[in-house]
Amino acid sequence: MKRTSQRIVFAGLAAIAFSLFTFSGCKKDGQDPVPPKTDSITGNVALPDWKVAEGYDPTSTMTVVAKVDLSLTYTADQLKDAFYQLSDSDLVAAFAGDECVGVEKPESNGLFYLGIVAPKTQGTPIVLRYYSKKVSNIFEAQSTLTFQNDERIGDHQNPYTPEFKVKK
């Protein structure tokens, strides 16, 4: 009886050691280790109250037709694990520093037709932020825009599609 329980313990330890060696991500035969899974895209952020403040010149605007494609940054598994999908409650907003200069919900075709007013401080880089209601998180574009009056960036056939990452 004692011998049988020792064999079971030994077999269990051997199985654990084998699993650790086999699945630990060690290099074998010149292969790179399996990359670690990055943080989840799911957050706990409530719907933000993004609004363009009063006092902007409505004749000094630019337009961005944007598409959010999180698959440019995140793996299919990460998106599936978060049950990600675009929602009509999602928002894209343009910020010049902390100043909201444009905000919009998606249209039925999944694009955001974003009107952007001239920031109070000219030359301030404009960054887009995306709020996903489905995953309760805010993502920030990894590239910036420069305000140019009457400029149009993207269109319905070729929308502006920046890479978005979770805003830290």
Give the tens place of pLDDT for each residue, 40-91.
Answer: 677 888 999 999 988 888 889 999 999 999 888 888 887 776 667 788 999 9
Residue 119 has pLDDT above 60, yes or no: yes
Per-residue pLDDT band at 15 (split at 50, 70, 90): very low
Provide the pLDDT for residue 44: 84
Residues 1-30 have a mean pLDDT of 43
Residues 126-137 have a mean pLDDT of 93
Look up residue 18 and give its two tokens.
Answer: 């084998």
Q: Which residues contact 15 (CB under 8 A, 6 or more apart)?
A: none
Residue 111 has pLDDT above 80, yes or no: yes
Provide the pLDDT for residue 74: 80
Considering the entire predicted model, what is its pTM? Answer: 0.73
Q: Which residues contact 6 (CB under 8 A, 6 or more apart)?
A: none
